[in-house]
Structures are given as structure tokens and as C-alpha cells.
Structure 1
Amino acid sequence: MSERQARVWAGVDSGKGHHWAAVVDETGATLWSKKIENDETAILTAMDEILDLADEVSWAVDISGTASALLLALLAAHGQRAVYLPGRTVNRMSGAYRGEAKTDARDAYVIAETARQRRDFAVIDVPAQLAADLALLTAHRSDLVADRVRLVNRLRDVLTGIFPAPERAFDYSRHNG
């Protein structure tokens, strides 16, 4: 890994199912570029990797709506601020860079580069209450998933105690091992 930078710019091409983030240094060189699932754990892992690159990270996103709500709430919860680059600006700036193909990775790079070069974009204000509400909802969702797994396991245990033949017929270890 290269040495720690003083400041980097992280551009995020937001989407419903996943985001793509690219990080550039003060010369515009790409330091980091990856697809990130729109999931709390994946976003936090990526955020940690990006924050380890520099003393200061300037974040920029192309969507400030529901597709990026979890990302923005997690950034706010960790003391990070993001600016909003309108899609129209990203589209126009894309023409200034080599390559014809429109990809998530290229868009994320363009967002990071544009944020590096311009300082006139609006900061996205995520209210602390929204961040707290999202944290509560994701914790509740995790609890529901864990409850469902326990329920299925208990049901399977009861059924095999009463009627073990299907368990032998569907020996999961033989088929999945």
C-alpha cells in the first residue's frame, strides 16, 4: 500500500443494489476503486478502507435520495460529510475524460475528480435523527433475520424428531459438501 495521503476525494456512483466508489489523490491518480453492496456491513468496510488512505476524505455522491440514504446516514454517523454532484454535472464532466464507455467505475472516478477540482457543490445535511432511525431499523432487520433462522432450525428439529425419513432422503451434507 502507498503512503498515507493528507487529503483524498472519494466519489460514489450510487445505485439501489450497489454503489461504486473511487478515491483520487491531489494529482487525480486513482488510489482505490471498488463496487460496494448497498449493505451496512459492506459500506462500513469500504468506508474504513477509504478512511485509512488519508487524514482527510472529501466525499461526493451523485444521488441524495433513497438509493444513497443508508450510505449518507452511515457517513453522517461517522462524522463524514458529503457533497452532492447533480447527475447532469457528472454527465457533462464525463466528456472531459478519455474513454467512451459509461461504467459505474468511470462515473465514480468522474465524481471524485469533479469534487477535487470544484468546491462549489452543496453539502448534504443528514439530520442526526435520520442516522439514528436508520441504525435502529438496520438493527431491527438483523434481529428479524436471526429470529427467522432460529424458527426454521427449530421447525426442522421438531419435524425430524417426529418423522426422520425426509432428513435421510435429503441428506444436505451429501449434496452440499
Structure 2
Amino acid sequence: MPGLTMRRIADLYPGEAKTDARDAFVIADAARAMPHTLRAVDPADETVAEFAMIAGFDDDLAGESTRIANRLRGLLTQIHPSLERVLGPRIQHPAVLRLLDQCGSPAQIRKAGRRRLVTLIRPKAPRMAERLVEDIFTALDEQTVVVPGTDAAALIVPSLASSLQSVLDQRKVLAAKIEKLLEAPLFPRS
């Protein structure tokens, strides 16, 4: 089974939840039952140094994505709490970020209309596009007052959505690089 990653090994065990206790069990059991799937790590190894650097940068990006997502949710709460209740839990979903990048205010979302919004987000959320748009319009109908500052938020929301998508894209690139590092053979074939 050369080339197995811990993620693939973990898939061999029942349960979906990712916890430290489960991870520790999977690693210990893999060391016992499949020692050939594990590789020794030398702290001076270039791969270890590269991994540490990439993981550190990913930690920074994770903090940045949390900060931007919280700022975005805060703005939505300020201008339209009902809309935030719909979009907030999905704020890092590519479809929601695309929507907020294109339509930064409740008025812009309403003006775009249901059909255009479904068309806009369907490539990023094929199964939930229509339901999400219906939930959005239900939320828009719950608030009839335009809160002061909504126009300013309409300028900021798209920028934050774009920034958050950029950070999430960077994290995907790093995750792929980390996966590649972890799958690299211990001793390259000559």
C-alpha cells in the first residue's frame, strides 16, 4: 500500500467526525497494522521545512479568512439581519461569495431578480441555487426598512467577498501542495 496518505487510511475506519482522538487512534493503528505506510521524518529534511512553512502560511490565511468572514457577516447583520441569517452560515460558500461580489446590497440583489441570481450562482451551487435564491428573497421580504449606511455597505461587501474568495483559493492551492508533499516517496527513485 505505498503512497497511502493518512486521509486515505482514515477512510478505512468507521465514523465521519474528525477529532484529535480519532486521528490519534488512526495513526497508532496504522503504525501497528501497516507500518510500511508510514515514513520516518528527519527534522532537517527539506520536506519538513517546506511543510512547516506552508502550514504556517495556511494558519495565517485561516485567520484572515475568519476575520474577513466575520467582517462580512457583521456588515450584513448591520444592514439586513434577515439576509445575514440566510447567507451568514454559508458565507464561505463560493456561490454566496459570487452573489455578494456581484450584488453588494439588498436592493441590488432584489433588482437582479430571482432568475438572474439562480443563473449567477448555479455554476458554484448546482443543487442549492434555486432554494438559496428563494430563501434570500424570503429574507428580503422580512425587512422593509432601509438601514442608514446600506449604500456604503454596498461598496464594501463586494470587496470583502472578493477578498475572502481570494484567501480561500490560496488555501486550496496550499492544501494541494501539502497533499503533494505528504504523498512524496521517502526515498526518490533513481
TM-score, scaled relative to structure 1 = 0.32
TM-score, scaled relative to structure 2 = 0.30
Q: Which one has the bigger helix percentage? A: 2
Q: Which one has the bigger strand percentage? A: 1
